[in-house]
Amino acid sequence: MSYLEVIGGRRLQGGIRIQGSKNAALPILSAAVLHSGVTVLKNCPKIIDVKNMLEILRDFGCRVDWEGDVLIIDASGMHGGAARKQYARKMRSSIMLLGSLLGRVGSACLPYPGGCVIGERPIDLHLAALRQMGARVEEGDEGLLAVCESPKGAEVVLPFPSVGATENVILLSVLSEGITVLDNAAREPEIEELCRFLNSMGACIRGGGSSRIVIAGVEKLHDTEFTIGPDRIVAGTYMLLTAAAGGRVFLEAAPAGQLKGVLNLLGRMGVCAEERKDGLWIGRSGRICSPGTVQTEPYPGFPTDLQSPLMAVLAGAEGESRIRETIFEARFKIVEDLKRMGADICTKGQEAVIRGREMLHGETLAAQELRGGAALVLAAAAAEGSSRIRGLSYIERGYENIVRDLQALGVVVNLREENEKDAVYERTWEKPERKI
C-alpha cells in the first residue's frame, strides 16, 4: 500500500501550471456522445475520474484514444446497453450520462452513482427535471432504467441550483424538440464551459453561467475541437496551500476571475495576490489571521469543494474562525485527523469552530474523500515534522499528479510503499514539468 510522506514546515517557492478542470471535463465527456462523430479535447485532465468515465464510454461503444495530451472520442459506433458497476459506482459524475444517453439513443441503464462520502447527494432533482421533458425513469435495486423516445422542450424550475441537475437538463435538451427554459440553474463556471462546448458542436444555448438558460433543440451536432479551461478548485487548493505554509508561488493559468470570493477571503487573512495575464502570484509572509465566519454557498459564493482545505489553513490561523457548511452534510470528516495533529476544532451540526494554533505537528493520516485528502496534504505541508497520508487514490480522483505539483512548489513530499524505504513515483501520462 502506498502513502505520501510529507516533511512540513518549509516555506514555498516555485510555480506550476494549473491542470484542466475536472468539473468541466466530466460533463463535457458526457456531452460528447450526443454527436455521432468525432470530438477532440485538449487540456483534459488525466485523473482517475476521467479514466473511469472513459471506460464507461467504451461500454457504450465509443472509441477513445489519447494522442499525447489530446483526447479523441469517436461516438459514431455508440449503442445502448449498460455501464459496468465497477466504474459507474466509483464516481458521482456517472449520473451526467443520463441526459446524454436519453438524448442520443432514447434509453439509459445506469447503476446508482458513487463517489466520495461527503453526503447523500440525492438525485431526485435530476429525475424530476428529466421527467418534465418526457423521460420515464424507474428506480430499481440495481440502478436506474430510463426511456425517453421523443424528448420535448419544457419550462423547468429547479428548487435548488444543483450543478448535476442543471447539466442533465442541458444534455437532454440539446437534441430535443422545441425550446427548454431552465430557471434557477446552477451558475458555476463549469456550466458555462459545458454550454460553450455544446455550442461549438452546433447546439443553440443561451445564458450559460446565469440562473436562466434557454436551449433550442437542434436536429444534429457536428465534429469539434475544444480546449478545456483550468481547474479553479485545483488552483484554489494551491492558493490555500500557500496561505498555510507561507512563501510565494506562481500559478500559471489560474482562473482568477472564477476565484474572486477565495481571493477576497485570502486578502482578509493577510495573503497577498497579484493577478497577471498568464496566471496568479500568491504570497504570505507573517502569520495569517482569522477571517471570522465563512459559509459555503453555490457559485459565486465560497465553494464547498474548498471548505476542507480552508479548515486545514484556519487550524493554524491567529484567532477563532467558524465554517458553516450549507451544501453537504458530511464534509467535516477531516476534523479528527486535524485534531490528532494538534488542531483545536469542535463541530456542532453543520458548523465548525476553529481556534487557531501556531503550529500543528506531523501525524499518520488517512484520506477518506477527494477534497479532504487534499486538505490533509495542506495541513501536513504546514505542520512541524513528518506526516504519512494514506488513501492517495481519493486524491488522484481530482489531482493529476499532486506529488509533482507539490515538489515544484517547494514541498518536501515523496510517494512511499509500506515496508519499503523508498519508492519510485511513476505516471505513464505525466506531463513535462514547466520551469518557472
Q: Which residues, other chains included, contact 86 with Cβ-Cβ below 8 Å and sequence gap of 6+?
A: none
Torsion angle of the four alpha carbons 20, 25, 26, 31, in this order, in degrees rounded to the nearest 10 = 180
What residues form DSSP beta bridges with 16?
251
Strand 70-74 to strand 63-67: parallel, antiparallel, or no bridges (unpaired)? antiparallel
CA atoms within 13 A on the CB side of 130: 33
Q: What is residue 176's three-state secondary structure?
A: coil
Q: Which of 154, 212, 153 is nearest to 186 (CA)?
A: 212
Q: What distance in Å separates the CA atoms of residue 167 and residue 300, rounded to the nearest whole number? A: 17
CA–CA distance, 315 with 360 (Å, rounded to integer): 8
Question: Given CA atoms 113, 116, 21, 261 in this order, what sign does their dihedral have?
Answer: positive
The grid coordinates listed for 285 are 509572509
With CA atoms as reference, report the closest residue to 63 among 24, 102, 92, 36: 36
Peptide bond into 113 cis (omega under 30): no
Cα 297 to Cα 120: distance, rounded to the nearest angstrom: 17
> What number of other Cβ atoms are within 10 A of residue 48's Cβ?
20
The span from the CA of 407 to the CA of 92, in Å, is 30
Could you identify the residue written with the cell 471570522?
Answer: 292
Q: Which amino acid does the sequence have at 224?
A: T
Q: Which three cell numbers stand for residue 122?
A: 440525492
Name the grid cell of 246. Answer: 507561507
- Amino acid in position 375: A
Spatial distance between the Cα atoms of 38 and 56, rounded to a whole number of angstroms: 17
Q: Which of 44, 62, 116, 195 is catalytic?
A: 116
Taking alpha carbons only, the member of 66, 67, 73, 64 closest to residue 32 is 73
Task: Identify whether 116 is a catalytic site residue.
Answer: yes
Catalytic residues: 116
